[in-house]
Amino acid sequence: MNVSISRLPEAVTAWGTSDFADTLKSELENLAPDALPLQQGLSHGSYVSGDQFEVMILTVSESPGMIHARVGIHYFSIIAGCNCADDPTPVDELHEYCEVEIELDKATAEARVRLLVD
Protein backbone atom coordinates (compact mmCIF):
# COMPACT_ATOMS: atom_id res chain seq x y z
CA MET A 1 0.00 0.00 0.00
CA ASN A 2 1.47 3.33 -1.06
CA VAL A 3 0.71 6.36 1.07
CA SER A 4 1.41 9.94 0.06
CA ILE A 5 3.56 11.43 2.81
CA SER A 6 4.48 14.89 1.73
CA ARG A 7 6.40 16.92 -0.74
CA LEU A 8 10.18 16.68 -0.50
CA PRO A 9 11.34 19.59 -2.70
CA GLU A 10 14.82 19.91 -1.21
CA ALA A 11 15.59 16.27 -2.02
CA VAL A 12 14.42 16.72 -5.61
CA THR A 13 16.59 19.83 -5.94
CA ALA A 14 19.59 17.92 -4.56
CA TRP A 15 19.08 14.92 -6.88
CA GLY A 16 22.26 14.15 -8.81
CA THR A 17 24.51 15.90 -6.31
CA SER A 18 26.65 14.53 -3.49
CA ASP A 19 24.22 16.17 -1.03
CA PHE A 20 21.19 14.10 -2.08
CA ALA A 21 21.34 11.40 0.61
CA ASP A 22 21.91 13.90 3.44
CA THR A 23 19.14 16.17 2.13
CA LEU A 24 16.64 13.30 1.81
CA LYS A 25 17.57 12.06 5.30
CA SER A 26 17.07 15.54 6.77
CA GLU A 27 13.72 16.10 5.06
CA LEU A 28 12.41 12.70 6.16
CA GLU A 29 13.58 13.20 9.76
CA ASN A 30 11.73 16.53 9.86
CA LEU A 31 8.41 14.88 9.06
CA ALA A 32 5.98 14.09 11.85
CA PRO A 33 6.33 10.41 12.86
CA ASP A 34 2.74 9.71 11.86
CA ALA A 35 3.58 10.72 8.28
CA LEU A 36 5.54 7.46 7.97
CA PRO A 37 4.24 3.89 8.51
CA LEU A 38 6.07 3.48 11.82
CA GLN A 39 3.04 2.09 13.68
CA GLN A 40 2.53 -0.52 10.94
CA GLY A 41 6.22 -1.44 11.12
CA LEU A 42 6.24 -2.34 14.83
CA SER A 43 7.67 -5.74 15.71
CA HIS A 44 8.27 -5.48 19.49
CA GLY A 45 5.93 -2.93 21.03
CA SER A 46 2.33 -1.91 20.56
CA TYR A 47 2.63 1.86 20.17
CA VAL A 48 5.23 4.22 18.67
CA SER A 49 6.94 6.17 21.44
CA GLY A 50 8.03 9.76 21.06
CA ASP A 51 8.76 11.94 18.08
CA GLN A 52 12.36 10.89 17.45
CA PHE A 53 13.43 8.55 14.69
CA GLU A 54 16.59 8.16 12.64
CA VAL A 55 16.68 7.56 8.90
CA MET A 56 19.35 5.66 6.98
CA ILE A 57 19.40 5.84 3.19
CA LEU A 58 20.14 2.28 2.05
CA THR A 59 19.85 2.42 -1.75
CA VAL A 60 18.83 4.97 -4.35
CA SER A 61 17.89 4.53 -8.00
CA GLU A 62 15.87 6.32 -10.63
CA SER A 63 13.39 5.56 -13.36
CA PRO A 64 11.89 8.00 -15.85
CA GLY A 65 10.50 10.86 -13.77
CA MET A 66 10.95 9.12 -10.42
CA ILE A 67 13.57 8.72 -7.69
CA HIS A 68 13.38 5.49 -5.66
CA ALA A 69 15.00 5.18 -2.24
CA ARG A 70 15.06 2.24 0.14
CA VAL A 71 15.23 3.69 3.65
CA GLY A 72 15.81 2.13 7.07
CA ILE A 73 14.18 3.80 10.06
CA HIS A 74 15.25 3.33 13.69
CA TYR A 75 12.71 4.37 16.31
CA PHE A 76 11.20 3.34 19.65
CA SER A 77 7.97 1.76 20.85
CA ILE A 78 6.36 0.88 24.15
CA ILE A 79 4.07 -1.91 25.24
CA ALA A 80 0.97 -0.09 26.42
CA GLY A 81 -0.29 -1.43 29.75
CA CYS A 82 -3.17 -0.66 32.05
CA ASN A 83 -1.44 2.37 33.60
CA CYS A 84 -2.85 1.52 37.00
CA ALA A 85 -1.39 3.50 39.87
CA ASP A 86 -0.11 0.33 41.55
CA ASP A 87 1.20 -1.30 38.35
CA PRO A 88 4.87 -2.17 39.10
CA THR A 89 5.73 -2.65 35.43
CA PRO A 90 8.02 0.13 34.22
CA VAL A 91 7.39 1.65 30.82
CA ASP A 92 10.47 0.69 28.84
CA GLU A 93 11.15 1.87 25.33
CA LEU A 94 11.88 -0.88 22.83
CA HIS A 95 14.10 -0.42 19.79
CA GLU A 96 12.23 -0.78 16.49
CA TYR A 97 13.43 -0.90 12.91
CA CYS A 98 11.57 -0.99 9.64
CA GLU A 99 12.38 -0.41 6.00
CA VAL A 100 10.34 1.60 3.54
CA GLU A 101 10.52 2.44 -0.12
CA ILE A 102 10.14 6.10 -1.04
CA GLU A 103 8.98 7.02 -4.54
CA LEU A 104 9.71 10.67 -5.25
CA ASP A 105 8.24 12.38 -8.30
CA LYS A 106 10.93 14.59 -9.87
CA ALA A 107 8.40 17.00 -11.39
CA THR A 108 6.10 17.61 -8.40
CA ALA A 109 8.33 16.53 -5.46
CA GLU A 110 5.41 14.45 -4.15
CA ALA A 111 6.56 11.43 -2.19
CA ARG A 112 4.86 8.10 -1.64
CA VAL A 113 6.01 5.59 0.95
CA ARG A 114 5.49 1.84 1.12
CA LEU A 115 6.37 -0.32 4.13
CA LEU A 116 8.63 -3.19 3.09
CA VAL A 117 7.71 -6.40 4.87
CA ASP A 118 10.15 -9.31 5.17
pLDDT digits (tens, 9 = 90+) for 55-89: 999 999 999 999 999 999 999 999 876 566 666 66
Domain count, the chain: 1
43 torsion bin: left (phi>0), alpha (psi -120 to 50), beta (else)? alpha
Residue 44: give its domain's CATH number: 3.10.450
Q: List % helix, strand, coil for the chain (3-state, nearest 5).
A: 15, 40, 40
Which domain, by its residues, includes 19?
A: 3-80+90-116
pLDDT value at position 19? Answer: 97
Q: What b/e string do you get for 59-83 counting C-beta neighbours within 10 Å, with b at 16 or more? A: ebeeeeeebebebebebbbbeeeee
Would you give per-residue pLDDT tens digits along the chain (118 residues)? 566 678 999 999 999 999 999 999 999 999 988 889 999 999 988 889 888 899 999 999 999 999 999 999 999 999 876 566 666 666 688 999 999 999 999 999 999 999 998 7
- Has residue 85 been placed in a domain? no
pLDDT value at position 4? Answer: 65
Q: Are 6 and 35 in contact (CB under 8 A)?
A: yes
pLDDT value at position 34? Answer: 87
d(CA 93, CA 115): 22
d(CA 9, CA 106): 9
